[in-house]
Structures are given as C-alpha cells and as structure tokens.
Chain A
Amino acid sequence: MLHNHVFLRKTKKGSVAKIVKEHYLRTDIACGSKACTTCTPCKRANLAEALPPFPGSQVGEYIVPDTNVLFHHLDVIEHPSISNLVILQTVLEELRHRSFQCFQRVRRLIDDPDRHFYVFSNDFHAETYVPEPAATASTTAVAESPNDRNDRAIRRAVQWYNAHLAALHLGAVLVTNDVANRQLAVNDGIPALSLRDFVQKLPGSVPLLDMLGAAGDDPTAPSSKDAVADASRLATVYPEHAAPASIQAGIATGVYQMGTLHISPHNFQEATLLADVNKQRVEVLISGRMDLNRAMDGDVVAFQLFPKEQWKSIVSKVQEQEDDDEAVGSDADAVDDDDDDDDDDDAAADANASASSESLLMPTARVVGIVKRNWRPLCGTLEAPPGFKQHVDAAREHVIDPIQSAFFWPIDKRMPKVRVRTRQLRHLLGQRIVVALDAWPQNSRYPTGHFVRVLGAVGDRAAESEALLLEHDIAHAPFNARVLACLPHQGDRWTVDVDTIDKPDRVDLRHLAICSIDPPGCTDIDDALHARPLPNGNIEAGVHIADVSYFVKPDTPMDIEASQRCTSVYLVDKRIDMLPTLLGTNLCSLRSNVDRLAFSCVWEMTPAGEVVSTRFHKSMIRSQASFTYDEAQARINDTSMNDTLSTNVRLLNQLAKALRKRRIAAGAVTLASPEVKFRLDDKEQQDPVDVEMKELMESNQLVEEFMLLANIHVARKIQQAFPDAAMLRCHPAPPSNRFDALIRAVGQRGFPMVVDTSKHLSDSLDAIQLPEDPYFNKLVRIMTTRCMQQAAYICAGSVNPSGYWHYGLATDIYTHFTSPIRRYADLIVHRMLHAAILRDGQLARDRMKRLADVLNVRHRNAQMASRASIVLFTNLFFRNKPATEEAYILRVLKNAVIVLIPKYGIENAVVLPKASLAKCDFDEKDIAITWPADAASQTRAGKLALFQKIKVHIEIVHQGPEAAQRLQLQLTLVDPPLPAA
C-alpha cells in the first residue's frame, strides 16, 4: 500500500516548495510480544510472554507512553522497575524533534534487553497508520493539528494492540498525562492511565512518585499548606522574560546580544559572558539576582548591555548562598528587599569610583531572556525544613509521609538552591541525592525540581565520587557486552601476526631501539620514541603511537561507545577509561619487549633540529624499555652509560632542546599550573597521606617536544589531504581586556607586560623575576594561564585557515595525534592520517563538525571532574589535620582575597570577618585592602594586595546548614594580623 505525503514548505530563499514523499504501508511489522504467533517473526521482539495484571485490570498490559511522558519523566521511565514498554514510532519521532538527548536516552533503554522495550513502527503498519491532517482536512470540520494527529495515531496503535493481543490474554494501556487525550481514549474504549495512576499500581512506588515532581501530586487533595504557599507566590519576584520573537528581533537590531553564561565560582550572583562592545569582543559582567533573572550556569541567554554609567568595577565580593539564610515556608518566596538594596548600593559606589579608574570598569548587562537552558541533574543534599523532626519510630517505617517541601543544596556552588517536594524526606536527609530541575517560575525565588535517586550517605567516598562523575556528566558504567564483543577474541593472548598483518602498508620496525618514557606506574603507554644517526650526518627520529585504530574500527559498538566517552577521565583515586582495559593497558599499550602495532612518524633532522623529511606509516615495533621520567633523566645525566638506549635518549634530548629553542623563539608561551599529586595509602581506604608537586625534568620536556612535533606534522598532512574535514586543535588569542587587571598588578611590581602577541607575552613573562621570591614568576604564569581562552577542537572546513592558529604553542596548525588510547580525537586523527597516506576513505565535514563540538564539551567536563576530584581529596586530606601555610594573593575582592597555596595547589577564598572588615578600607586605585595602625588593639597597619605572600590557616568545616553537609575548606588569615573587632 502506498500513501503520498504531500506538503508545502517555505524554503530558505523564501519561495514555496512542494514536497512529496512516499510512504509505504506494510503488513509484516511484528507486535513485539514473545507470546504472539501470528506476527512475522522479528528478532527485536522483546516484550514478555506473560505479565501479571495491574490491580484493577483483567489482563497483563504492555505500557504505551506518549511523548510528553517520555520527555518530562524520563527519570521515572529509566527506573529499573518499569519494563515491557511499547515505544511507538510516532512517539520516538516526536521525541527526536523535542530533544535529541532524551531520544538517545530512550534508545539506550530500548537497546537494553533486560528492560523489554520494543519499538513498534506504527506509522508504517497498514492497520495502525493514521493519515496526516492535511489529507483529512476536507472531511473533518476543524483542521487537526499535527499534535492531535499524533495523539490519534497513538490511540489507534493502542487500540490495535488490544485487539491483536486479546486472544493471548494480554493488552496494552496508554499512559498519558493529557486529560483530553485520556478522555478521547476512554470514549473509544481504549484503556488509558495517567502516569501517576500507573506508577501507583507498581509495587514500591514511593520513590517513583517523588520523581514525578508536580505531576505526582494527587490532584484531588491539595494540602492546605500549599494553598498558603500558592498565595504568597502571587507576588512577582523576577522581571518577565522577553518572548522568543522579541529576542530574535532584538538580536537582529543589535539591542540584545546572545551568549553562554558562566557563573563565577566565588559568587553565585555574578556571571560573565563574552559580548561585542564597541566592536571588540570583551567580557561582560552580569551581577545580582534581578539582572541574572533566573539564568543559570551554562544557559544560552539574550542580554542587554547597560549604558556606560552603570558599568562596574571588576572588583567583586565573595558571596555564597549562606548570605541569604531563609527558611522553607511562607517567607521563602517573598522578595528579600535587603539583599537587592545591597546590590544597588554597590552599583552606586562603583559608579562613584569609576571616575578614578576608568580602564578597570567592566561592561555590565542584564538578562532579558533565556534562549536555551542548560539544565542537568544536580547532585547535593536536602536541608531539613525548620521544625522537622527525624522520627526513629520503627512502627512508622512503612507509613507514607505527606508531601513536604525542602530546600536542596547542589554541590555545585554556582547553582541556586532548589525547592523539592518529597514524600520520603525522612529517608533522604543526610544522603547525597540527585535532583532534576523542573521549572523556575517568575514568581518563585528559587527553581523547583524533583527527586531522582539516592547516591549514598554524605561523606561516603563512593557516593561522593559518583556524585562528582554525575555532576560532570561522565559515563562511568562498565562497558556493555556489545562493546566487549568487539575486542579480539584471543583476549590477552592476542599477538601480532607478523607475516600477514596489513601487508604491504605496515613497516616492520622491530629492529630499532625504541623506548617509551612515561610517569611511574603508567599502564596505558601511548607513545614510544627512537633516534639514530644517519650516515649523512643527519639524525633519524621517530615517534611511534599506539595503533588504536587497528582495533577500533569505525561505527562498531566499541567505536560508538568511545565516541560518546571521548576521553579517559583521571581522578585522584581512579581512572575512567575510554576503551576497555584489555586494549588500553595491554594490546594497544606499547609495553616493552612485546610486539605491538604502532602508527609512526619518522623524521630526518639536522642536528640543529631542522626537519629535512617526514614519513608517516603504520608499523610494528618492539619497545626495548619503558623508562620512567626519572630513569630517562638518569640516562641523560650519566654520560658514562653507553648502551644503545642511553645514547638514543641523549640524542633525542639533544634534538628536543634544539626544537624547544626554535619553538620559544617563535613565541610559544610557557604556562604553569599549580597542580599537585596526591599520594594515597595502599589500604582499601585510599586516604590521601601526602601531596607532592608535579616536578618537571628535561625528560618530560623531551617527550613533550617530540609529541608537539608529531602533532604539528600530522596536522599539516591531514589538513592538506582533507581541507574540509580535518580535525584540528586551535587556541584562539585571548580577548584583550582579560589581561587588564594582571598587567596593572604586574606593572605595580615594576614589570611591563606586553600581551599583543604570544611572542611578546612570552618575553615579558621571562623577564618577570623577583630574586627574593622565585615562585613569583610561576605565579604570574599561573595567572596568565587563567586569562587564556580554552583550546578547542575544530573541523578545518568550518573555520578560515587563519583561525587554525594555536596561540599557546605559537604554531600555525595543530592537532591531537599522540594519545589515541585516552582521547577520541586522536583516534579520529589516526584514521584521517591513514586515509591521507592511502589516499582513500570518506570523511563528512558535518559529522566532524558535530564531533568536534561534542569533544570540546566532554574534554572540559573531564578536566572539571579531575579538578573536582582533587578538591574532594584535598578536603579529605585536611579533614583531621588543620595546617598553617604560606599563600599568595591572586585576586583582591571587596570582602575577601583569593589565594593560592603553592604547596597543596589549593586556590580558595579567604573571607575576612565582617567585624574586621569594618575597620579596613578598600583602595580602589591599587586594588588592595588596607587598615591603619590601631594602638588600642595593638595592631599594626597592614594591607592585602595582589601577589602578596601571606600566611593562612587551613581547616575543614561543615558549611551551610547542618543538613547540607558540604565539606568545605576554610581559610583564615593568620599573617598579617587583621585589626581586632
């Protein structure tokens, strides 16, 4: 049977196009029940043969949810107690249009055989197909909207299922929250339930009911307390958001701009974003609850710049949510006048100060509308509402509590508190839980959300680690069976089949003296090196990278999984791999004294480091040694060792030095990070026992130089071969005003800083040396790093070639090639390079572009997770041993200073007590907090300014209300002593 879809569509050019699509209807689509014998057998048929009937129904029923149920309540659907769902094609298509992310989550559920989900292609089935509204418009009185048509299609499918399965004593029930749809279903004799009614029929439904959010409330019995809350909600708290149409118009005329909001980690009411001000790309500040207008971190917002009179000084203050301590209940939604007045005062003060220091003013703006929410599930804890008593009455254990409101404190300090309504408050207090956001109404001070699941007790390492991974959206489940099936079937007994493998393209390099240099304990060895003198006086140097692309073929389940993970994530206590361990630490890892497959870059170089020629080919190698950095360093230093490997390493080092010199001359910036490494004790506990700074030796630089060289050459090669699709890594020059504060501060110390090119920046950084404080140089470098933009993956075709520039490395083109075991980008680059040297293969530019976007997000998440893990362990480290340490001031705020403690790599705020602060002055010109000598309390005059070395006391406190239980590092100033209150 054939139907033609005919519809008209306006094209991009504005003309009208008539689109005709064929639509074939078929009779061979299976219903998906294993009990069914009449349907065409189907491999995907997965619905259970027999089902226990729900209370109140005659037969066991499959569940058919509508689109809204899946879209709004996917958390519930993902709950393991829900199975035997029929997902209709109509629903799936609608969902794909609504949210691709939701669609993918549903697909994942469908792929899980234990959940018994089945996709019924109802639109292609001759008996369940429902014509499009356009085709029936002439026959029905009122034109049917596409949504109504889809609802009709869903009802038709449920009806068909019931008729089809009647003989098997099975049925299907429609689950929808749409009252009208349910009514229509009932009129046609189709069983239909609301999600709430359905969930209540399941055993153990209480946590599920909570997950429904407002939709889980009993519509017939609103509690009296809520009525009060509703009344107080009538007061409008926030300005209204502009309508999408007016936002679009505003952006078109330049009144509004659009950008991604980043909330400051120190102050949840302060955010920055990039905007064009006077045709320059600069950072813009949005501060205060009203101006932020319900925007949250990562949201894409439309904003309007304030006139210059309202621009603010870049000095802000530390503000955490504890400042506005409110109780849950009637006053929670009331406008907090004090707070807002406070903000206005600040603005006024700033305006006064502006005359003196104009260059330090930051443009300000306000949010007019939210284009795209970046809502994700949040991890945190519930705060006990005032007056709540924890019942320890065993008799009440099984009684379902009434719904209660409580505030949820996210771990992420940039996120606001969330109002959560739950029936199981007793059980959730003191637990790390996940909450999904529902809405942020205009008349509610805080957003509302619903409970999703429990991770574990607060402070429990496993729960905290999982929270950390969830917070950063990192897939950490074990690899599934389909992925593991892609591994070589010989397992760890797999060996290189020397005679047959990839002849003749693969070159046998097993005779070369190749070695690898890595940190101690490294098991995933990506890279190995060799060098040897050539008869003509030049040197042959080679970089050999694990040939992961040999094992991971495109579009296999393993490849798809890796492309979703994008990168391995390194936490303090564990590593979350991108590839299964067998590959990562064994078959791909270039371990010593076994044959391994590699992708090699081999150069002929002059002793001065000039590249004469480059070759790329796949190879097999046999690494002769896996050195640690220390061992390699020993061989560099000890010239008496004359074995091949030692001379090899020294030769490499000689070349690396030459390469480095060239790179620095070209303007590469040496950056620094304050990272430290925790030493964990060996017991199960894995408590951190010590910290050590990451040390840099010549051997580190040796490896780094060769990796850079390989990456640059590979980048050139793939860019030439695939000018459209090549995957590159670029690092844009930072916006000019980011450096303003730093230039000023360094200038006060008598060092000029020129930042117009990376060369000048690098030279000025080298010149900054304080003989009395060797750490000063590193400090400035750390702060310079903070001013830089993030490097990003790009698809060559989407950017003008001038945009390939890598600012930090000062090279015209760069990519990632050298770590395919732990980065997906490298794997892609391997495939590209292989295609480039064989001159075949297909690469789609759009696909690469999409991939680059995903990679960038995942990489940032992975980085954030690593940092969060370090913070977690820092807190554990100091939990029982407060310390006093030296610290440097990185930033001076109005009521606090941000300091860096070099020994532990901790960066944190030192909030000054309010009482002392009253006696201090804020020096706008020098950006310093000063106080005069006070004879009465015997305090000397003092000041806190940028780069100053101070002493702080470190200890761990429970921050926030008791129930929130955030472990928080608290720093207090010890030296110089503040004036006493």
Chain B
Amino acid sequence: MRREIVSPEGFRQDGRRPEELRRSHFRTSLFQQVDGSAYVEQGNTQCLVTVSGPREPQMRSKSLPDRAVVTVEYAVAPFSAGERKGPLRTNRAHTEVAASLQATFEAAIMTTLFPRSEIMICVQMVQLDGSALATAINAVSLAIIDAGIPVTDYVTACSAGYIGSDPVLDLNYLEESAGMPQLTLALLPRTRKIVTMAMEQKLHLDHLEPTAEMCEEGCLQMYQQMNAYIASASKLATLITPSA
C-alpha cells in the first residue's frame, strides 16, 4: 500500500512538517593527522570529512600554475545502508558526486592564493538516510573552515523534493525512494549565490521555482546552525588554548 509522503494533517512519516529540516549535529577537529576534519549528522545521514592542504601535489603533473587544485575522494561505507554492500568498488555514481563536490568547492575556496598546490578532500559517508550530497557539502564546508583554508563564504546545502502540489524539505531515505523529483541546492549564504544545483528526475518547470525557494530557505537555516556551531567551537578553542 502506498503511503502518503505528507498526510492531510500536514505531517511527514517521521513527524516533520514539509518545511522542517531534520535534527543536525556537527563536530570539527576530530583528527590530528590532517589539517581539518568535520563530522556532520543530518538525521541519520552521517558524514565524515578530512581536508589536507594546501600542500604539494602528490602528482606533479596535476598541478596548475595559477591556483590550487581541489581533489575530492568520495566513499560510502559498506555498512552505511540498510543492507550491507560488498567491498568498495569504483562506482560511477560516487565519481559523479565527487566531481560535483569538487566543482562546488573550487567555486568557494580562494584557490588563486595557493598556486601549484593541492587541497585534498576525503569524504566518507558513514550512514545513509537520504540527502547524502547535501550532507557531504555541509561537512566539507565545515572541514575546510576547520583547516583554516580561506573561503569566500560557507557553502551550505539542502535538498527538497516535490510531491503532490507542494515541496518538501530535506528528504530522508524513505521519501527519496518514493521516486519523487529531488533537487539539491548549495549556495553561498551571504550573497545567496547558487554554486550547485543537482536534480536527476523530471520536474515540471512551473514547480522548480517553489522547490528551489524552499531549498534556499533550508540552506539559510543550515547556515545559521553551522555558523552557530563554528562560533561556539572557536570560542571553545580559544578557551582551551588562549595563546592560539
């Protein structure tokens, strides 16, 4: 029996209203060995990111004379979904996510400050419960800030679906698998400049605008939460090591 995504009472299956984000949780500076790291939970989607660099590129041939190269590795843990997946293989879908992360952060990082160097971003999805790309973008954003790499702004991302006649924010796995069109939007919150927009299904053009608007609202909410976390985390850092 098909379950409704949003009940006539206005609740989704997990008790949220259409315009509500899931609970999120952030942590940064998890590892000593890398320059920056972050862990983000959005609902049950969990993502771990490490950032190394700017540093000398591991492959010389890849370096660029005028700016830094951003390389992204994206991996999904075998235990991340309901059913255990076999050993990791190169997956085209994963390569694609990596490419879109790379494009996103090349737009946000001031790469021209570090010519002939490399910024390495490793994304590890620990648990998947929908909106993986958006969570990854948010986590990378925090990790880059944690690494102290100069950026023009945060990059915050959020997904939204469109079902019936209204958009729904921040899809979980169940909603994603209902087959509705899903839009993932990443933007620079202060200028509201959109850096990434991804959608793989068909959506009528008339519906794109309300969906994108809702995504934007979600991104801004996300920004406030992330900014508040970074503020408290840096306060924490100054408290522990006042000289730094």
Contacts and interface: CB of A to CB of B under 8 A. Distances in A.
Interface of A: 2, 4, 11, 15, 17-26, 44, 89, 96-97, 100, 107, 110-111, 119, 121, 123-124, 555, 840-842, 844, 846
B129 A20 contact: yes
Contacts of B23: 2, 22, 24
Interface in B11-33: 11, 13-16, 22-23
B87 interface: no
A228 to B, nearest CB: 44
Given A21-B14, A22-B43, A24-B16, A119 B9 contact: yes
Contact of B201 (A20, A89, A842): A842
A22 B82 contact: no
A590 B167 CA distance: 37
B172 interface: yes
**Top 5 closest A-B pairs, CB basis?**
A24-B15, A124-B15, A17-B82, A842-B202, A22-B14
Nearest to A111: B8
A121 B204 contact: no
Contact of B8 (A21, A23, A24, A107): A107
A88 to B, nearest CB: 11
Interface in B39-91: 43-44, 82-83
Contacts of B181: 842
22 contacts: A2-B23, A4-B44, A17-B83, A18-B82, A21-B14, A22-B14, A22-B15, A22-B43, A22-B44, A23-B14, A24-B15, A24-B23, A26-B15, A96-B3, A110-B8, A111-B8, A119-B8, A121-B11, A124-B11, A840-B202, A840-B204, A840-B205
A123 B15 contact: yes
Contacts of A124: 11, 15
A21 B203 contact: no
B165 interface: yes
Contacts of B9: 44, 89, 119, 121
A111 B43 CA distance: 33
B172 A22 contact: yes
Contacts of B44: 4, 20, 22
B13 to A, nearest CB: 8
Contacts of A26: 15
Given A4-B44, A842-B202, A11 B11 contact: no
Contact of B203 (A110, A842, A844): A842
A586 to B, nearest CB: 27
B44 to A, nearest CB: 6
Contacts of A18: 82
A173 to B, nearest CB: 22
Given A44-B9, A97-B1, A842-B181, A24 B14 contact: yes
B107 to A, nearest CB: 29
Main secondary structure, interface of A, reads mixed
A107 B7 CA distance: 11
A89 B14 CA distance: 13
B14 A841 contact: no
Interface in B74-126: 82-83
A555 B205 CA distance: 17
Contacts of A119: 7-9
Contacts of B201: 842
B203 A555 contact: no
A94 B7 CA distance: 15
B65 to A, nearest CB: 44
Nearest to A13: B83
Contacts of B83: 11, 15, 17
Interface string B165-189: 1000000101000010100000000
Contacts of A110: 8
B164 interface: yes
Contacts of B205: 840
A508 B76 CA distance: 56
B202 A841 contact: yes
A107 B9 CA distance: 11
Interface of B: 1, 3, 7-9, 11, 13-16, 22-23, 43-44, 82-83, 129, 164-165, 172, 174, 179, 181, 201-205
Contacts of A121: 7, 9, 11, 15
Contacts of B3: 96
Contacts of A97: 1
B179 A844 contact: yes
A100 B1 contact: yes
Contacts of A22: 14-15, 22-23, 43-44, 129, 172
Nearest to B12: A24
B118 to A, nearest CB: 37
Nearest to A129: B15
B204 A555 contact: no
Nearest to B173: A21
A587 B23 CA distance: 50
B27 to A, nearest CB: 18
A15 to B, nearest CB: 6
B167 to A, nearest CB: 14
Contacts of B11: 121, 124
A897 to B, nearest CB: 48
Contacts of A20: 44, 82, 129
A637 to B, nearest CB: 50
Given A121-B9, A842-B201, 18 more contacts: A4-B44, A11-B83, A20-B44, A20-B82, A21-B13, A21-B174, A22-B129, A24-B14, A44-B8, A89-B7, A96-B3, A100-B1, A107-B8, A111-B8, A124-B11, A842-B181, A842-B202, A842-B204
A592 B202 CA distance: 39
Nearest to B83: A17
Contacts of A89: 7, 9
A107 B82 CA distance: 33
Contacts of A17: 82-83
A895 to B, nearest CB: 47
A841 B13 CA distance: 26
B32 to A, nearest CB: 31
A844 to B, nearest CB: 6
Nearest to B43: A22
| Most chain B beta-carbon contacts within 10 A, residue among A2, A21, A97, A840 | A21
A722 to B, nearest CB: 11
A555 B206 CA distance: 15
Contacts of A96: 1, 3
A594 B9 CA distance: 44
B8 A25 contact: no
A125 to B, nearest CB: 9
Nearest to B202: A842
Interface centre among A21, A22, A107 (most CB of B within 10 A): A22
A19 B203 CA distance: 29
A717 B108 CA distance: 46
Contacts of A107: 8
A135 to B, nearest CB: 16
B81 to A, nearest CB: 8
A111 B7 CA distance: 13
Nearest to B22: A22
A119 to B, nearest CB: 5
A846 B205 CA distance: 23
A844 B9 CA distance: 25
Contacts of B8: 44, 107, 110-111, 119
A743 B203 CA distance: 55
A848 to B, nearest CB: 13
A44 B164 CA distance: 19
Contacts of A844: 179
A828 to B, nearest CB: 16
Contacts of B172: 21-22
B175 to A, nearest CB: 11
A19 B82 contact: yes
Contacts of B129: 20, 22
Contacts of A111: 8
B218 to A, nearest CB: 16
Contact of A555 (B16, B43, B164): B164
A25 B15 contact: yes
